[in-house]
Copies of this chain bind each other. A is one copy, B any other.
Amino acid sequence: MTDLISQLRNIVGDKGLLLGDDISSRSGGFWQGGPLQAKALVRPQTTQQVAEVLKLCQQQQQTVVTQGGCTSLVDSHHSSADNIVLSTERMTAIEAIDTANRTATVQAGVILEQLQQSACEQQLSFPVDFGARGSCTIGGMMATNAGGNSVLRYGMMREQVLGLEAVLMDGTIISSMTPYLKNNTGYDLKQLFIGSEGTLGIITRAVLRLRPQPLSSQTALVATDDFTQVSQLLGYLDQQFNGGLSAYEVMWQDFYALNTGEHSHNKPPMPADYNYYVLLEYQGNNPASDAQHFEKILGEAFEAELIVDAVIAKSDAERIALWEIRDDAETEKTKFGCFLHTFDVSLAIGDMPLLIEQLHKQLEQAFQHYELLVFGHLADGNLHLCIWEEGMQRKSEVENIVYQEIAKLQGSISAEHGIGLEKREHLHHSRSPAEIALMWTVKKAMDPNNLLNPGKTLPAQK
């Protein structure tokens, strides 16, 4: 142990190594609580240092957990006292913004918001965005294939990565830092590292695709009576807006009623008795006429009976107020006195009404009192479910109900949050034994001693 620590210090220097109180004074994370635990926390500054750390740990059969911004909702960054934690917090260089090629070359520890700002200064945009933008890292976003609010238009994190550099557990550097959209030279190795939650290698750098800044943005909240309208409206708007539809967030009635009701700070922009509410956003290319075009298309949707009510944001303040209804997680806490059991699932859009109907049936049978609040990135097939049951002590029962109904509809138990520690024993609801066996085949080929983020993502083998 002393030997390992001193060798780690030789690689990363005094400033690169934290021990004892410097570790335990950090938080163990939102879900786990308590102090961070680790044998040592190393903070390399270069890919070469990461490689030397991993090579050393491999020699000593030492497990390693990588940490970025530690904003995972499934504890994929969780560590225990026998792990070395490798943090990318000193790998924060934005190495280049190439305006001709429209790419950014970054180290893994760059914070999302910093990249967004750097792109913006060059009249470009990095379009992946979500609430944790001020603390999540680009490396963590790649390792977890992060999603968020603009997937409909721009895709997940995976679609933004042109090139990537990662280090294998034996210290081998896999450098595939190619800055172009097309590269069919053998296996696309970067895909192995994206979304594998640090279990196959540690991502150290990347070349990311940047996009033009949108020229104008239009936002509206619309209501519909039935789900067929919700689904038809999506198809209609996506065609009319020609790929410019950048958000299609749906709230079921209970969710909207709660977040605009007596417990909330939000003013209701329309009555709370419609069945579905859609928050939609269109990024246009013609500032002079986009607002008019937007209004015209929504008017036609109204005449075609695809919507029954609509409110268009006329200012930035109104736009923000509409989004606050959708993003509000405080009102549920005010009403119920706690955060609810939450789920992040995917399924075919047409199956969504059936899922919700079945969940109500099951929850009714299992609990005397319950609430089911539904909202989500509907266009991506992604719903978030919030469930309250009296006492809030029966989490695993609720999980079983949700995951079993999801499994019946060939849905996904994790749309965008990942598996991590939290969901690994539920993975079988979405993945077959053959799929899980193949995941283990890949894991064993790339990390034969199971030293990289052990116990995450893949369920224990029987």
- Please name the residue on chain B nearest to A156 by beta carbon: B182
> A180 to B347, Cβ gap below 8 A?
yes
Question: Which chain B residues border A140 with CB–CB below 8 Å?
Answer: none
Choose the segment among A13-21, A36-44, A251-259, A411-419 that binds chain B (4+ C-beta atoms closer than 8 Å).
Answer: A411-419
Chain A contact residues, majority secondary structure: loop
> B187 to A213, Cβ gap below 8 A?
no
A68 to chain B, nearest CB (A): 16
> How many copies of this kind of chain does the complex include?
2
> B241 to A182, Cβ gap below 8 A?
no
> B168 to A438, Cβ gap below 8 A?
yes
A454 to chain B, nearest CB (A): 15
A157 to chain B, nearest CB (A): 10
A149 at the interface (CB under 8 A from B): no
> B173 to A434, Cβ gap below 8 A?
yes
> B410 to A187, Cβ gap below 8 A?
no
CA separation between A184 and B382, bound complex, in Å? 11
Q: A186-B419, A240-B215 known; A180 and B412 CB under 8 Å?
A: yes
Which of B182, B240, B286, B349 meets A147, CB within 8 Å? Answer: B182
A137 at the interface (CB under 8 A from B): no
Q: A239-B212, A285-B240 known; A350 and B181 CB under 8 Å?
A: no
Choose the segment among A81-89, A302-310, A392-400, A424-432 that binds chain B (4+ C-beta atoms closer than 8 Å).
Answer: A424-432
CA separation between A123 and B243, bound complex, in Å? 15
Which of B185, B379, B432 meets A175, CB within 8 Å? Answer: B432
CA separation between A458 and B187, bound complex, in Å? 9
Among A283, A289, A430, max chain B CB count under 10 A is at: A430
CA separation between A95 and B180, bound complex, in Å? 35
Q: Which of A416-453 contact B (CB under 8 A)?
A: 416-419, 423, 427, 430-432, 434-439, 441-442, 444-446
- Please name the residue on chain B nearest to A432 by beta carbon: B175
- Please name the residue on chain B nearest to A444 by beta carbon: B445
A155 at the interface (CB under 8 A from B): yes
A: contact size bracket: 35 or more
A102 at the interface (CB under 8 A from B): yes
A219 at the interface (CB under 8 A from B): no
A235 at the interface (CB under 8 A from B): yes
> A242 to B239, Cβ gap below 8 A?
no
- Please name the residue on chain B nearest to A103 by beta carbon: B348
- Please name the residue on chain B nearest to A166 by beta carbon: B438
> A102 to B235, Cβ gap below 8 A?
yes
1/0 contact string of A142-175 vs chain B (CB within 8 Å) = 0011010001110110110000000010001111
A36 to chain B, nearest CB (A): 24
- Please name the residue on chain B nearest to A199 by beta carbon: B187
> A189 to B380, Cβ gap below 8 A?
no
Q: A240-B285, A441-B446, A445-B442 known; A415 and B101 CB under 8 Å?
A: no
CA separation between A349 and B98, bound complex, in Å? 10
CA separation between A218 and B219, bound complex, in Å? 27
1/0 contact string of A208-247 vs chain B (CB within 8 Å) = 0001111100000000000000011001001111111000
CA separation between A183 and B416, bound complex, in Å? 6
Q: Which 7 A-B pairs have the closest CB atoms?
A: A180-B381, A242-B285, A212-B239, A445-B445, A191-B191, A182-B415, A100-B350
17 more contacts with CB within 8 A, not counting A147-B182, A211-B243, A445-B445, are A101-B348, A172-B438, A175-B434, A180-B348, A182-B381, A182-B412, A183-B414, A184-B195, A184-B412, A184-B415, A184-B416, A186-B436, A215-B239, A239-B285, A240-B285, A242-B243, A243-B243
Interface of A toward B, CB cutoff 8 Å:
98-103, 123, 144-145, 147, 151-153, 155-156, 158-159, 168, 172-189, 191-192, 194-196, 200, 211-215, 231-232, 235, 238-244, 283-286, 289, 293, 346-350, 377, 379-382, 410-419, 423, 427, 430-432, 434-439, 441-442, 444-446, 457-458
Can you give 7 A-B contacts (C-beta < 8 A)?
A155-B159, A156-B181, A168-B438, A182-B377, A186-B436, A242-B243, A441-B445
